[in-house]
Amino acid sequence: MLKIIRQKPYTEFVACPALFTNDSGGRAKKARKAIAWPSITTMRLSGAFSISLMPQVCHARRMDTNARAASATQDALTRVREELKGTLCERMGMDVLSLTASTAHLSMPVAPNRQPQGFLHGGASIALAETAVSLAARTHAECLYGEGAGAVGLSFTATHHAPAREGFVHVTAHAQHLGRTHASYLAEIRHEDGTLVSTVLGSARLFSPRDESPAR
């Protein structure tokens, strides 16, 4: 239960007896009210009535918002994994571990993607990075333009630092620029032991559901 205590014109105390905080402010009169109604927040008003939310209310709302965001993220991951079925991404063994507009994290096995010398193929590394960049850019496009928006890769520049022979590699793409028509990301591919395998700088073009074709 909230209680509003009016001390003088344009000054309101919003109090909640369930939580004790020491907001007495030094004056004896305020101190007595702080003891009677422990959680008190004061504010000066300029002719307009205002109420400040109590910590318990804010915390509950944050928890509810976080729960909805987590659910939406999980739904998006499930949808993307379904979309990858039957594609090159599935044949290469890619798995989407986390995805937002600003960051994408994918994994891929080395064994089915090796070149004749037994190392992870450089083209496979670039394909992994482009997938991460395109998925993150599409998520950004959907945030801007709604469901049905998308993104296509424009340019990718790779530097290969170390070979990988077995196990898994992981790519993490971090947004460098998120615009309304283009997005760019820096992707790092590391072996599961932490060794940096490749870095890829990639960009993508965004398109809205109204665009007839995602022309580059």
Which is the catalytic residue, given 12, 82, 83, 130?
130
CB atoms within 10 A of CB 84: 19
The domain spans of the chain are 3-52, 60-207
Q: What is the pLDDT of residues 159-205, one digit of tens each?
A: 999 999 999 999 999 999 999 999 999 999 999 999 999 999 999 99
Q: Are 184 and 177 in contact (CB under 8 A)?
A: yes
Please state, in angstroms and rounded to a whole number, the distance separating the CA atoms of residues 196 and 198. 6
Distance CA 77, CA 71 (A): 10
> Are 177 and 183 contacting, i.e. CB atoms less than 8 angstroms apart?
yes
Which residues fall within 8 angstroms of residue 175, CB to CB, at 6 or more apart? 101, 102, 103, 136, 140, 183, 184, 185
Task: Return the CATH fold of 60-207.
Answer: Thiol Ester Dehydrase; Chain A (3.10.129)
Q: What is the pLDDT of residues 20-76, one digit of tens each?
A: 344 445 544 444 444 343 443 444 444 443 334 444 444 444 555 455 445 556 788
Residue 178 phi, psi dihedral angles, 5° rounding: -120, 95
List, in order, residues 6 or more apart from 214 with CB less than 8 Å away: 150, 151, 152, 205, 207
Known catalytic residue at 130: yes
pLDDT score at 153 = 94
